[in-house]
Amino acid sequence: MTSIALAIAYSAVSLVPGPAQILSESMDRYYHAGNVSGTIVTTLSQGTISQSITTQIQFSSPDRIYFDQTPASDPKARIRAISNGTHLVYPSPEDFDSKKNQRLYLVEPVMQRNGGLMDVRTMYAIFSRSVVDRSIPLEIAIGRDKDLQVIAQLLSNLSDGGVRTYNGEEVSVILCDVLHKIGSDYKLKGAFFINEKRDIRYFKVFGLMKDEKKRNVEFNAEWVVNLSVNNQDVIKPELYNLDLVKK
């Protein structure tokens, strides 16, 4: 088990796993995954404003990744990052081609000049500046140590929300408090749905926040997670094709 997972982990193994133990085991499952593939569908709403974002991700350790994130309200804001194990193509966080109305893309070799090799987590660190929805489920799935450390600081007061059926699966509900961001005054309520294999299937954050006019408004965010872990049968090698990115 990773030291990061232990930051949220249980102090002693119980015959009946508690909420912290279940979440820790889930984080550990993704952290040691050889491959992950699927989607995360996000719905965000604050007051009367709502938006949806779909993230498709597939990676095969150590150095192949396909990442696609598309806001429903603005498909032109779609970003992709792909590594075929030799090169990484990713969106420039600053450069935009106004004539073509599209983001410019950069290419880097996986073998770096210093002789080091980029892995999936290093690649995510490079292109994450362009990622609009850096959600807790996404960053648990990627498993970058620095991001997991942040998540450990955002979550607190884990408690047992019982067991329920969700999309045909039995899931453990883990309730928690969630900081909006590090140093934020807003502590929201949260809930994870985690199945028996320790796959995260759903995560929700909700509560009151202030809008730009300092008025209290309802904030709701939910992530429907459909990721397969260590299932080689669902991996699509054709997604690791750099030509899928318009350069």
Q: What CATH number should be reported for the domain holding residue 58?
A: 2.50.20
Is the pLDDT at 85 greater than 50? The verdict is yes
For the chain, what is the domain count?
A: 1
Segments in the chain forming alpha helices (H): 3-6, 19-31, 120-127, 136-142, 145-154
**Positive or negative: CA dihedral 48, 56, 144, 177:** positive
Percent of all residues in the chain with a pLDDT value above 90, rounded to a whole number: 71
How far apart (Å, rounded) are the C-alpha atoms in residues 35 and 228?
8
For residue 14 the two structure tokens come to 């119980």
> How many residues in total does the chain contain?
247
Residue 244, SS3 per DSSP: helix
Measured from the Cβ of residue 82, the count of other Cβ atoms closer than 10 Å reads 24
**Positive or negative: CA dihedral 45, 22, 5, 229:** negative
Average pLDDT in the 1-26 region? Answer: 69
Residue 10 binned pLDDT confidence (cut-offs 50, 70, 90)? very low
At residue 11, what are phi and psi to the nearest 5 degrees? -90, -20
Is the pLDDT at 246 greater than 70? The verdict is no
pLDDT per position as a tens digit, 135-153: 999 999 999 999 999 999 9
Residue 11 binned pLDDT confidence (cut-offs 50, 70, 90)? very low
How far apart (Å, rounded) are the C-alpha atoms in residues 207 and 184?
14
Average pLDDT in the 52-75 region? Answer: 95
DSSP 8-state symbol, 111:
B
Q: 35: domain range?
A: 3-244
Average pLDDT in the 153-178 region? Answer: 97
Average pLDDT in the 197-210 region? Answer: 94
Mean pLDDT of the chain: 89
Residue 95 binned pLDDT confidence (cut-offs 50, 70, 90)? low
